[in-house]
Amino acid sequence: MGKRKLQVEDLFKLHSVTNPRLSPDGKEAVFVKTHMDEKDNTYVSNVYHVELTSNEVTQWTFGNNHVSSPQWSPDGKRIAFLSNREENNQVYIISAKGGEAKKLTSFDKGVSSFLWSPCGQKIWVNAPVKEGQTWTDKEEKEKKQKPEPYRVTKMKYKMDGAGLLPQDTFQQIGIVELATGEVTQFTEGNHQHALHAVSHDGKKIVVGVNRKENQDLEFRQPLFLVDVETKKETVLIDEEGFYGGARFSFDDRYIAFVGKDQQFYNATHSYVYVYDIEVGTRMNLTESLDAPVGDYVVADHQQGVNAPAVSWTKHNQLYFQLSTMGDVRLYFATLEGELYPASPENEHIYDYAMSADGDLALVAVTNATNPGELYKQTITTGERVVLTSFNQTYLEEVELVEPQAITYTSTSELDVHGWLMKPAGYEEGKKYPLIVEIHGGPHTMYGNSFFHEMQLLAAQGYGVLYVNPRGSHGYSQSFVNAVRGDYGVGDYADIMAGLDVVIGENDWIDTDRLGVTGGSYGGFMTNWIVGHTNRFKAAVTLRSISNWVSFYGVSDIGYYFSEWQIQADMNDVEKLWEHSPLKYAKNVETPLLILHSENDLRCPIEQAEQLYITLKRMGKETEFVRFPDADHNLSRTGIPNLRIARLNEIIDWFTKYL
């Protein structure tokens, strides 16, 4: 009996394995497994334990809640984690010998993150607190129920996924005593503080904070080394750009962190930096790598990933992720400048944990035909042992399609990389429709990673083409920067060149049945494409941009993203309009389905409303579907039933027109 075809509802059958954390002695580990619960219409995650000698896996927490960020106590006897068991995320402690988890914090607005103190008797917390209040103060419920006006005096006043930002609430850092629950606030002032690292001797912490009063045009968060006793600060880095993920070396001499400057704004590659505390100098350890440090893969499966930005061994060696040519690989570095990969090609390491001696890694690995599991990898040999098999039964039941990697030359002699999937159940000699998928960002990348939506389209009988046009990460700095100021020109040429190449090399593609779809930047590009060519017989645009003029003022990032990417502001409305798909609405002949989340503040729904009304008034074939209670991340972390509905809308539209 053959395998069945993948279905929309298979989202409920998939498991996401993340957050591997090794015990201090390296003999055991914990991790988090997440799945979507169809009955409760929510995400359920729990902590699991693995004994690394026997490789036996045991579930440690239960219930239909969400847990994240498990961390071992320094003595290995307890694990702390975050859970929303009582609405807001709080810190819970569970014994490594088993038993019920004990709630440690009861902060009114919850806890954002935490780190163990090396003494094992205290936990450092990062959490929001209202000005003039303490973390444990409770706001009056009566006051919460009354609507109040919201006065806006700054440009950074809202954020996708968060809504209107509280103007009187600030992220502070503090310490919680395990024995008594007593809370002591460490930082002060009306600033947003970020806790990055605690030294192994407990005497220093790394804090990120920008104390400028007006943050509207601030795109930096300086990192400071802070003496716990005196609170004296030493600057690690205070430059334009984004830096974080700091970690102390085991001997506390060095601090490694990851970040990027503003040379190419948000198109700039990230690097690993190391600060020498004794000498007071900083070096860029990965400057010779023309690829970004970190994970830039876009997909729709993994939940709650929280991979270390960088990890030390006791030999003062470093490990980190690197996005390169569609892979996310584990890389090794020494302070002397040695750099080389520590994992193979054609896969996506989306989470990991390193042993202190550097001999062993726990790697959470996915590829195009495996949703991802946890493996134990011996660094010297590369040998791997499978630790989890949560998706094994699913893989035995369902037919998945292996994408074929392609490389081709576009305009400006630019080499472009991508993948082509044949339809599931492909038969030689038959003709099949083809759908082009376009990722968001644009500074992300498609990769060698499991993508339920791609596999679903293949299961529906479509070929699928997805490429990384100029602007995508995972390639050279010049490649990722090439899209800026050029939206709809070079990137459009890259996508269409890829289409021409695969049509020329694959006679199974029915050129009369071509579809195109994409979200965010991919939605912009879908809108642009249907206004510039009639080759596609159906299109679906998701969380898209149609008008850069209005986007400038309505998006939570509009006023600076437009300047960085389109390289124009409201003093150059002509250029913003020139790159706006709405300008070319009269040319659209492709039936276009518009899908958009009502709470999307990144690409606000007015972008879809403008496009829909304009096309409808012009007599074009279009429909508009609005998703309530959903933001920009609907396809990845949205309410489960809405994710299902979204995929069904896509399938139904292509079925109707292709």
CA dihedral 616, 520, 370, 330 (to 10 degrees): 170
Task: Enter the tokens of residue 79.
Answer: 């694990």
Three-state SS string over 111-155 comes to CCEEEECCCCCEEEEEEEEECCCCCCCCCCHHHHHCCCCCCCCCC
- Give dist(CA 366, CA 554) in Å, integer: 37
Task: Give the span between the Cα atoms of 103 and 115, in whole angstroms.
Answer: 16
**Inter-residue contact 240 to 210 (CB < 8 Å):** no
Kindly list the distances between the CA atom of residue 447 and the CA atoms of 208, 249, 294, 399, 404, in Å, as whole numbers in the listed order.
31, 31, 13, 20, 12
Hunting for tokens 């957050």 — which residue is that?
A: 19
Residue found by looking up tokens 């000698």 in the block: 53
Contacts of 152 (CB under 8 A, 6+ apart): none
DSSP one-letter string for 255-305: EEEEEEESTTGGGSPPEEEEEETTTTEEEETTTT--S-BS--B--S---S-
Catalytic member of 301, 443, 473, 632:
632
Kindly report whether the peptide bond that precedes residue 222 is cis, defined as omega within 30 degrees of 0.
Answer: no
Q: With 0-12 CB in 10 A as exposed, 13-18 as middle and 19+ as buried, what is 305? A: middle
User: In whole angstroms, how far apart are CA 212 and each of 128, 238, 380?
Assistant: 18, 12, 47
H or E stretch including 523?
A: helix 521-530
d(CA 192, CA 244): 14
Q: What is the DSSP letter of 252?
A: S
Would you state the structure tokens that stand for residue 11, as one six-digit string?
């989202």
Q: Rounded to whole angstroms, how far apart are CA atoms 608 and 542? A: 9
CA distance 516 to 224: 47
Question: Catalytic residue among 520, 544, 580, 597, which?
Answer: 520
| Structure tokens belonging to residue 43 | 């995400």
Q: Is 443 a catalytic residue?
A: no
Active site residue 596: no
Phi and psi at 213, nearest 5°, equal -65, -45
CA 387 to chain centre: 24
The amino acid at 564: W
Residue closest to 6 by CA, chosen among 461, 384, 417: 461
Backbone CA torsion sign across 495, 499, 505, 506 = positive
Secondary-structure percent of the chain, ordered helix, strand, coil, rounded to 5: 20, 35, 45
Catalytic residue positions? Answer: 520, 632
